[in-house]
Amino acid sequence: MVTYTAPLDDIRFALNDLWGYDQTVAPLPGCEDATSDVVDAVLEEAAKLCVNELLPLNRSGDEEGCTFENGVVRTPKGFKEAYTAFIEGGWAGLSADPEYGGQGLPKTVQFIVEELICSTNLSLGIYPGLSHGAYNALELYGNDALKALFLPKLSEGTWSGTMCLTEPHCGTDLGLIRTKAIPNGATGPDGEMAYKITGTKIFISAGEHDLTENILHLVLAKLPDAPPGAKGISLFLAPKFITKSDGTLGPRNGVACGSIEHKMGIKASATCVMNFDEAEGYLVGKPHGGLRAMFAMMNTARLAVGIQGLGLAETAYQSAVAYAKERTQGRSLKGAKHPDKPADPIIVHPDVRKMLLTMRAQIEGCRALAAWIGMAVDVAERHPDEAKRQEADDLVALMTPIIKAYFTDVGFEVTNLGMQVFGGHGYIREHGMEQLVRDARIAQLYEGTNGIQALDLVGRKLPQGTGRLLRRFFHPVLAFIEDNQTNADLADYVLPLAKAFGRLQQATGWVAQQGLRDPEEAGAAASDYLRLFALTALAYTWARTAQVVLAIPEAERQAFHKAKLSTARFYMTRLLPQTSSLFAMINSGAKPVMETEEAWF
């Protein structure tokens, strides 16, 4: 069994001390009642739910997995009861609009609760997680009748949602989809034209299960007059059961699960092949306008997947720390630290400490960054000033591929480090570490592989608005450096940040110039550039953390604050120097990558 306690102290620090939640989010329209005290109470209850209801099912769910028989998918023992407790507590509609039965809490709170869920039972959390993406797309692009009919059910969690995008022959390049939508001559429950949808979708998380009474499939398909490529994509809603205009369920629709995948991890999450055989569906948004709606779903999902990496990393860290304090092997290099015992705990050894500090520095840096971007999501949606909304939306767009890719890389790296701390005991099932590693691996793959995220960053986000998105990050970081570069107390934190930021600026210029000359130059640099960007972003959060802690009189600093300074110093001296090698690799260009002829592989 893994060790886990919700890291609420660190969450409070990130929200309140680092980013000023009560000054940034609480004053926004609709958030006035969601003060930090209220949020804290919500998180306390979320922690209880996750630790008491979800965590005990994590290992058994992995061992049992989902079963598939005669088109029916059954989740592991206890999942249905835990999901019922989840929706009865109102967690499914935490940030949903009160107009549709949601609680209307800030998206920042949703971000944090998702971390707690992923730390304790990622497989179970995927079911309501997919519903959030479906809810967002339908809220943004559905007509009023569709929203009135389906959003309340998604908010209460009695119905769930999916994203049906991938097909056997196409994943990232969705312009190649073959699924067709043909008008069926009838009207849907919204009074608009209904369609017959035919095609096969694969890798559909939560495509079929026994947790909810209905499943709403958001499906990408092409109309008969669709132009070629991505411009011909439309989005449709096809429910598992035909839904009448009064919200009652009719007969089974023409959509069925053909099989479920047998996977490396997240075994209690049903990953389905979904067959649509003239299934009735309703257009969401405009004809051929599915691409924008798709990105509404995928951007929500990509941020959520990044949080999955963070959540699993936290559990791995806590478990590794507990083990390192208990497991006795050898003696400290400076002599016995526990002479009353036959050996010292392995936490005395430098290599073990380096692994634990690497885990901690990455996790807490990522959590601080997630809090900043989560708050920006709320500002982008709710701020009364259009310019402020645009600035925040730009920042979220810029950081989405970074959060998705870097957080999931960190999730896999940290869970592997946790296994290393356990040694051979980590490789066997008993302690739960090998499951964390297996579960973490998928997050680097789905919702766009991390290589695709890197291409999105350099190919779309960097040039957008002639660098407008970049300025949303560069300007506050530069202002922080300039404001604090002469502060002697902060020198150990600001100077390393300034050097890394300088490398990021130079790398950005290099990628922009070389990419215009030869797109393969940008492509070859993309993954290294994303990691360089992420390491610099975390350095910014750690420098700000040091600033907050050093502002507290030394006599009043608690162990928590002292640990923050120590971890910040470790990050700046032992992890941030990676930016030097990444900068060198970026500047080596595409030739070392592309000059090898295909036949030589």
Residue 342 lies in a domain: no
Confidence of residue 58 (pLDDT cuts 50, 70, 90): very high
Residue 402 lies in a domain: no
According to DSSP, residue 457 is labeled: I
Residue 60 lies in a domain: yes
β-strand 159-164 against 214-221: which pairing, if any?
Answer: parallel
Q: Name the token pair of 455.
A: 């291409």
C-alpha 28/C-alpha 36 separation (Å) is: 13
Task: Give per-residue pLDDT as tens, 172-204.
Answer: 787 789 999 999 988 898 889 999 999 999 999
- Is 447 in the active site? yes
C-alpha 174/C-alpha 290 separation (Å) is: 11
Regarding whether 171 and 120 lie in a shared domain, the answer is no
Contact 162, 218 (CB under 8 A): yes
Regarding whether 210 and 78 lie in a shared domain, the answer is no
Confidence of residue 267 (pLDDT cuts 50, 70, 90): very high
Regarding whether 133 and 174 lie in a shared domain, the answer is no
Regarding whether 597 and 470 lie in a shared domain, the answer is yes
Contact 229, 250 (CB under 8 A): no
Regarding whether 591 and 468 lie in a shared domain, the answer is yes
Counted domains in the chain: 3
C-alpha 115/C-alpha 375 separation (Å) is: 15
Residue 294 has what pLDDT? 81
Residue environment code for 274-286, b if the CB has 16+ CB neighbours within 10 A, otherwise e? bbbeebbbbbbbe
- CA-nearest of 526, 516, 520, 519 to 582 is 526
Q: Point out the domain boundary residue: 76, 109, 141.
A: 141
Regarding whether 127 and 173 lie in a shared domain, the answer is no
Mean pLDDT score across all residues of the chain: 96
pLDDT exceeds 90 at position 381: yes
pLDDT exceeds 80 at position 69: yes
Regarding whether 213 and 123 lie in a shared domain, the answer is no
Contact 235, 222 (CB under 8 A): no
Alpha carbon separation from 234 to 138, 162, 296, 498, 547 (Å, rounded): 13, 16, 13, 46, 49
Regarding whether 198 and 117 lie in a shared domain, the answer is no
pTM (predicted TM-score): 0.97
Residue 298 lies in a domain: no
Q: Given 114, 447, 556, 595, which residue is catalytic?
A: 447
The domain that holds 88 is classified in CATH as 1.10.540.10
C-alpha 593/C-alpha 522 separation (Å) is: 12
Residue 156 has what pLDDT? 97
The domain that holds 207 is classified in CATH as 2.40.110.20
Q: Point out the domain boundary residue: 109, 141, 173.
A: 141
Confidence of residue 80 (pLDDT cuts 50, 70, 90): very high
Confidence of residue 474 (pLDDT cuts 50, 70, 90): very high
Residues, the chain: 601
Q: Point out the domain boundary residue: 92, 114, 141.
A: 141
Regarding whether 123 and 20 lie in a shared domain, the answer is yes
Range of the domain at 594: 462-601
Residue 224 has what pLDDT? 95
Task: Give per-residue pLDDT as tens, 331-369.
Answer: 999 999 999 999 999 999 999 999 999 999 999 999 999
Regarding whether 218 and 130 lie in a shared domain, the answer is no
Residue 358 lies in a domain: no
